[in-house]
Structure 1
Amino acid sequence: MTVNRFSDSARYWRSPLAPGADMLTAEYHDHSFTPHWHDAYTVPVIEAGAECYDYRGSHYVAEAGSVPVINPGELHTGARAVDAGWRYRVFYLPVEFVQSIASEVSGRAEPLPWFPAEIIRDGDLARRLALAHRALEAGGDPLAAETALLDALSTLLARHASERPSVRQIGSDAVRAEAMKARLTDDLTAPVTLAELAASVGLSTFHAARLFTRETGLAPHAWRNQMRLTRSLGALRAGVSVTEVAAASGFTDQSHFTRHFKRAFGVPPGRWR
């Protein structure tokens, strides 16, 4: 049996019925996502093929009909798990939006919902999420689309969410890691050497790099580039030119910015906007 190979095709879009959310309709074959994170909840539905990804120290394969949720701020990758590639629909849902729905469902103020690392295999939920995604994308009856969205998200929360784990007590290593993060984000356009970063926390360059990578999952330069990308999204949404955003974000030039952006988000910044 011949399986048609998916292309690399992606479209980001928004809907007024999901305030602040981004949605993605895409299929991928050759593209692979470098380690990155989102400030929002990532809620995908795999429609065909299969995607593999690294998350929380484990390797996962999400097949058609599964819902591999990623919590906000958590590092993950993405690539094809089968020869054909994969096709999926994704919600990127703001934290405040998801928390407000959780509170509506329970009738009281709820703590931040959190999802386990394991892939959700719930065919009924997958159908509800896909239905809501298609309804929002079609832009038809807003009442039907909003009802489908609330139905899908309330089902996701009621069946699979738990409270966010309490934050562990910060030790001396984490304190140094946070200090290095602050140094790297203080001015994203200013060059920072590893020697300067290490000196700011009283460590050798070797130990500073090793500590930072252990605490964040990324080397300092990669983490800083991801932070630049994350902060560039607001300016892109506001209509600022890609050239201006690249310069303001601290990238060498537009091509440098575009290359990193596509590896993290699957499309060039101009198409994302």
Structure 2
Amino acid sequence: MNAAHFRNAPRYWRSPLLPGADMVMAEYYDHEFTPHWHDAYTVQVIEAGAECYDYRGGHHVAEAGTVPVINPGELHTGARAVDFGWRYRVFYLPPAFVEDLAREMTGRAASTWFPAAAIRDADLAQRLVIAHNALENDADPLAAETTLIDAVTTLIARHALERPSIVTLASDATRIETMKSRLADDLLAPVTLAELAQTVGLSTFHAARLFTRETGLAPHAWRNQLRIVKALPALRAGASVTEVAAASGFTDQSHFTRHFKRAFGVPPGRWR
């Protein structure tokens, strides 16, 4: 037996940001899924190895970097497609969540059925992994919710069998300033995308889309940039990086350092 093969090791968890959903991080070696179905959209990202599955009368192979999607209620299997198995991340998304997002995007009921073959879209796979990681690690709720909405709406926009016609909002300086004020009001307090959208009477999809288009940054990225700018005087005055990170609303020093270095090219301690 090859000592380098994956283990049979799944881990399930849930997030309050996505009620009714399950998330899985798993690797499998010799486990085989018998024919079964789920009452959710099963959205997978293969991170290593390869999985094969029987679905809709065909036999499919999903290699690393692909996104197999199983529609609710549809029978399918699952097994390794290479000797050492496969590792993947999975979202089990409630149908209402996916359907409501499609409705927000289009302004009407829209089809959210996906193809049987694994989707080969590296950018989509990366977006899904970012969202999955954010939910797994209890990240800033604004970042987690925004990346989740981004990933799932990208899946719908690019790969639904009936491509949706997305409603585009006109520029709206008043709404942008209102959202900026909400994000800046208390940098220590968590803010969700749903709360931000509610302040301007928009859906989460359109609030995030409008804000990102008009400012060039997603809401959580804009808020983190504001936190960094407001942290500079304390750093100049000699405060420790740990103190500044906590006072600026970052989850910890490493979170602050990571974002600071992206903006300034050096860690905050060296900048100081």
TM-score w.r.t. structure 2 length?
Answer: 0.58
Cα distance in structure 1, aligned partners of 2:96 and 2:103: 10
The residue aligned with 2:78 is 78
**Is the 2:13–2:23 Cα contact (8 Å) retained in structure 1?**
yes
The number of residues matched between the two structures is: 162
The residue aligned with 2:125 is 126
The residue aligned with 2:6 is 6
Cα deviation 1:172-206 (Å, max 9, x = unaligned): xxxxxxxxxxxxxxxxxxxxxxxxxxxxxxxxxxx
Shift of 1:137: 0.3
Cα distance in structure 2, aligned partners of 1:3 and 1:96: 43
Task: Give the letter for the 1:80 counterpart.
Answer: R
Q: Report matched runs for 1:162-241 at 5 Å.
A: 162-163=161-162
Shift of 1:31: 0.7
Shift of 1:163: 4.4
The residue aligned with 1:61 is 61
Cα distance in structure 2, aligned partners of 1:133 and 1:99: 19
How much identity, in percent, do the aligned residues show? 70
Does residue 154 of the first structure (1) align with residue 153 of the second (2)?
yes
Aligned with 1:113: secondary structure? coil
Cα deviation 1:136-178 (Å, max 9, x = unaligned): 00002111011110000010000001349xxxxxxxxxxxxxx
**Is the 1:24–1:90 Cα contact (8 Å) retained in structure 2?**
yes
The residue aligned with 2:18 is 18
The residue aligned with 1:109 is 108
**Is the 2:48–2:86 Cα contact (8 Å) retained in structure 1?**
yes
Cα distance in structure 1, aligned partners of 2:149 and 2:3: 35
Cα distance in structure 1, aligned partners of 2:161 and 2:19: 23
Does residue 99 of the first structure (1) align with residue 131 of the second (2)?
no
Aligned with 2:70: secondary structure? coil
**Is the 1:125–1:152 Cα contact (8 Å) retained in structure 2?**
yes
- Displaced runs of 4 or more, over 4 A: none
Report which of the two structures shows the higher radius of gyration computed on alpha carbons: 2
Task: Give the letter for the 2:161 counterpart.
Answer: S
Task: Give the letter for the 2:116 counterpart.
Answer: A
Shift of 1:116: 1.3
The residue aligned with 2:171 is none
**Is the 2:29–2:86 Cα contact (8 Å) retained in structure 1?**
yes
**Is the 1:28–1:86 Cα contact (8 Å) retained in structure 2?**
yes
TM-score w.r.t. structure 1 length?
Answer: 0.58
**Is the 1:19–1:97 Cα contact (8 Å) retained in structure 2?**
no
Task: Give the letter for the 1:49 counterpart.
Answer: G
Instruction: Structure 2: give runs of 5+ residues left out of the alignment.
Output: 164-272
Does residue 44 of the first structure (1) align with residue 18 of the second (2)?
no
Q: Report matched runs for 1:134-153 at 5 Å.
A: 134-153=133-152
Cα distance in structure 1, aligned partners of 2:36 and 2:143: 34
Bigger RCO (CA 8 Å, 6+ sep): 1
**Is the 2:111–2:160 Cα contact (8 Å) retained in structure 1?**
no
Aligned with 1:154: secondary structure? helix
Cα distance in structure 1, aligned partners of 2:151 and 2:4: 30
Instruction: Structure 1: give runs of 5+ residues left out of the alignment.
Output: 165-273
Query: Alpha carbon RMSD of aligned pairs, Å?
Result: 1.5
Cα deviation 1:14-33 (Å, max 9, x = unaligned): 11111211111100001110
Cα deviation 1:17-75 (Å, max 9, x = unaligned): 11211111100001110000001000000000000010011101100000010000000
Aligned with 2:99: secondary structure? helix
Cα deviation 1:221-249 (Å, max 9, x = unaligned): xxxxxxxxxxxxxxxxxxxxxxxxxxxxx
**Is the 2:53–2:61 Cα contact (8 Å) retained in structure 1?**
yes
Cα distance in structure 2, aligned partners of 1:21 and 1:109: 24
Task: Give the letter for the 1:48 counterpart.
Answer: A
Aligned with 2:16: secondary structure? coil
